Amino acid sequence: MSNYDWSKAFEGIWKKAVERYQGGKRGSGNFFEKEELAFLDSIGMTAQELYDFAEDYMNDRDPDFATCLLITAARRDYFLTMQKGKQSGKTVPMSSLPAKTDKLDGIEWLPRVIEKAKIKLRGEMEPDLMYDCGGDRRFFREYQIHPADFLRVVWAAKDDTAHIINYVKTRSY
């Protein structure tokens, strides 16, 4: 597998994950084969993250493969360029996130989804946390923002929260 066709390899693993879930296999611990795990690691993704995407797709048909790919591409870019292909070795506990009802500039969920985006970009999601979970998807639909676009905005903004707020406010209709 080369860098050029990583997305095709990823699609194959995603399809297998969906088939396994559909076939009744559960839990990320023994869900993927050794080679698949090595590939996921090489792009900065965990088994749990892909398992969560497959599970939500099978249960809700959302996120679809294209969304999963775009989110993964943003994380992969960050992993390879900012982290030089090395995991941080950290895991951020869900308990450290802002509450689901917290607001930023009057926008509920925004403080939480900003922090989740930062954690996702750095690859520091704890197993019980998912970027683009049902609550995130509700927020993104309401503000007409693609979750992969939001990752890239958060990455570009660095610590400029005002930039992120402005982006969100200019996207809603």
The per-residue pLDDT for range 79-105, each reduced to its tens digit, is: 999 999 999 999 999 999 999 999 999
- Asked if 62 and 56 count as a contact pair (C-beta separation under 8 A), the reply is yes
- Asked if 79 and 85 count as a contact pair (C-beta separation under 8 A), the reply is yes
Distance CA 142, CA 132 (A): 13
Distance CA 167, CA 137 (A): 17
- Report pLDDT for 173: 58
Cβ atoms < 10 Å from Cβ of 153:
18
* Residue 48 belongs to domain spanning: 1-87
Amino acid identity of residue 70, one-letter, is L
| 87, 102, 127 - which closes a domain | 87
- Asked if 72 and 79 count as a contact pair (C-beta separation under 8 A), the reply is no
Same domain, yes or no: 123 and 170: yes
The per-residue pLDDT for range 56-71, each reduced to its tens digit, is: 999 999 999 999 999 9
- The pTM score is 0.95
The per-residue pLDDT for range 24-40, each reduced to its tens digit, is: 999 998 899 999 999 99
Same domain, yes or no: 100 and 172: yes
Same domain, yes or no: 101 and 172: yes
Strand ranges inside the chain, DSSP E = 103-104, 107-108
Same domain, yes or no: 11 and 40: yes
